[in-house]
Chains A and B, each alone.
Chain A
Amino acid sequence: MSSTTDRSRLRRARELAAAVTDPEMPMLTLADLGVLREVALEDDRVVVTITPTYSGCPAMATMRDDLVHRLVDGGFAEVEVRVSLHPAWSSDQISARGRQALVDHGLSAPGPAAVHAGAVPLTLTPPVRRLHCPRCGATGTSLVSEFGSTACKALYRCLACQEPFEHVKEI
């Protein structure tokens, strides 16, 4: 097989893998979410490496199944999905396009994640995030809970339009 064919097969595999969407936030592709770490060709096999957002992320099996399904449908007979645990996923890895897609779908995008090399300080007051309501754009919002419908989201309420909305947490 010529290297030109290899390059074009690799490009095609990357396109297919990058277009697979997150099962819980389908407005985001795995690439936009930052969990798609690598797509490589090992002889005839496509090897895709993904990383979990949270340790208990129940979407990992679905992501794996979806990746295999799309790549097989796209003409790659052999697909292997591997896990990469290091470096740990951070919400900072959500792309600019992904952030816009979140807002376009009524979710609030995360701010920069805190980095602590040593002991993590205790935070006894709820975090102050300067959020815009993804529905009406108002800046007055109130935190309902730091835990939401999926591991990666917090619950907020807009004080202007009164609508609840979800904020993707900084981690």
Chain B
Amino acid sequence: MDGTHEPVDHENAYAGLLGGDDSQWAFGTDFEDPLAGVEVTLPDGVAAEDLAAYAVMLADDALVMAQRLSEWCSRAPDLEEDIALANVALDLLGQARLLLARAAAADPSCVPVLPEGSPVPPEDALAFFRDDRAYLNVRLVELDNGDFARTVVRLLVFSTWRLALLEPLRSSRDHVLAAVAHKGVKELTYHRDYAARWFLTLARGTEESRRRLLAGLDMVWPWTAELLLTHPVEARVAGCGIGIDPSAVATEVDSVLDQVLSLSGIDRPADASSLSPGPGAPVPGETGRDGVHTEALGALLSEMQSVARDHATGSW
């Protein structure tokens, strides 16, 4: 900042804050490609639509989880948790944006077509103009938050699973996926530690906190089986060094969750895949990865997408 200050305008609380440097106020004035200058050429040996679908899967997991976590804004148990959950949501939203942009660059035909003159960038078109049937997230992330304990259980399962996926994804032959994974691993390490510490605190806290944690675990657990199921797209991208087969990270996920459960004095719930035909039991071809969702996703999306859809040609 240079030393020339304008006289302070006492009628305007914002005047003078930045020494007359109004360039600081240009927040979000235009949309820019988040992958500007990044190498997005399709790697050899992978179909464009497979790479795009896989990037959309990873993006939708993060986007829907971020939206659910954002619902805690202004209503978490205390200010620190409010800020923490919003921070986790922001990291995931950032991962989703890059991944959706990657999908759009790999296969532009996956981007919904908007009215002529719409300034909406491709990653936003994917986020705000797809119906629930086109969302490819696992169903775990779309379920209602429930109370704080259930939110902690879900975040522990989700961040443990996503971290286990992103660790090996760092060596993807796709530069963008590898880069998102490198950064995502650092971010998810903080998310998982946060959730695991709260899990332990609630488990060892009061009778009430433990009761709520166990109730949250009962609600969340049946939806975990789907996380480790391999979708044909995931099998194909894993086969050519672009993506990760989720069934390959089962051991890592189990070992982390077992560590937290055993320190919490909580027995591991029955294997989620043996719970069928209960809620959440994955039927191949009818999972979140196939675009088959619970009612909760439709409601979430209608709230998340309403402004963008009402103003498809709006400039912000």
Which residues of A does B touch, CB under 8 Å?
Answer: 21, 23, 26, 47, 49, 52, 54-58, 60-62, 64-66, 69-70, 80-90, 113, 116, 118-120, 122-126, 144-149, 151, 155, 169, 171
Contacts and interface: CB of A to CB of B under 8 A. Distances in A.
Contact of A56 (B84, B91, B182): B91
Interface stretch (B110-118, B192-200, B238-246): B192-200
Interface stretch (B6-14, B24-32, B142-150, B210-218): B24-32
B129 to A, nearest CB: 21
Interface of B: 1, 23-24, 26-30, 32, 34-38, 80, 83-84, 86-88, 90-95, 97-98, 163-164, 167, 175-176, 178-180, 182-187, 189-190, 192-194, 196-197, 200, 252, 256, 259-260, 263
Given A54-B187, A61-B28, A65-B29, A86 B87 contact: no
27 contacts: A26-B1, A54-B91, A54-B183, A56-B90, A57-B94, A60-B34, A65-B23, A69-B23, A82-B37, A82-B38, A85-B182, A86-B175, A86-B182, A88-B179, A88-B186, A89-B183, A120-B167, A122-B256, A144-B80, A145-B80, A146-B84, A146-B193, A147-B83, A147-B86, A148-B87, A149-B83, A169-B190
Given A58-B28, A85-B175, A146-B193, 5 more contacts: A47-B37, A55-B94, A57-B94, A60-B34, A61-B28
A66 B32 CA distance: 14
Contact of B38 (A57, A65, A85): A85
A169 B187 CA distance: 11
Contact of A64 (B24, B32, B80): B32
B83 A119 contact: no
A137 B246 CA distance: 48
Contacts of A80: 36-37
Given A85-B38, A145-B80, A124 B193 contact: yes
Contacts of A116: 185, 189
A1 B189 CA distance: 51
B91 A120 contact: no
A62 B26 contact: yes
Given A83-B38, A88-B183, A147 B84 contact: yes
A123 B193 contact: yes
Nearest to A91: B186
A61 B36 CA distance: 12
B42 to A, nearest CB: 17
Contact of A88 (B32, B83, B182): B182
Contacts of A69: 23, 26
B87 to A, nearest CB: 4
List the 10 closest pairs (A to B, CB-CB), nearest first: A82-B37, A56-B94, A55-B94, A85-B179, A147-B84, A56-B90, A147-B87, A65-B26, A145-B80, A88-B183
B80 A56 contact: no
B182 to A, nearest CB: 4
B304 to A, nearest CB: 16
A83 B167 contact: no
Contacts of A66: 23-24, 26
A126 B80 CA distance: 15
B197 A124 contact: yes
Contact of A62 (B24, B88, B196, B259): B24
Contact of A122 (B24, B28, B175, B193): B193
Given A62-B26, A118-B167, A145-B84, A82 B36 contact: yes
Contacts of A147: 80, 83-84, 86-88, 190, 194
B54 to A, nearest CB: 17
Given A62-B26, A147-B87, A120 B185 contact: yes
Contact of B190 (A23, A84, A86, A146): A146
Contacts of A88: 179, 182-183, 186
B171 to A, nearest CB: 10
B194 A86 contact: no
Contacts of A26: 1, 24
A117 to B, nearest CB: 9
Residue of B30, B87, B90, B185 with most chain A CB atoms under a 10 A cut-off: B87
A89 B186 CA distance: 10
A126 B201 CA distance: 12
A155 B78 CA distance: 14
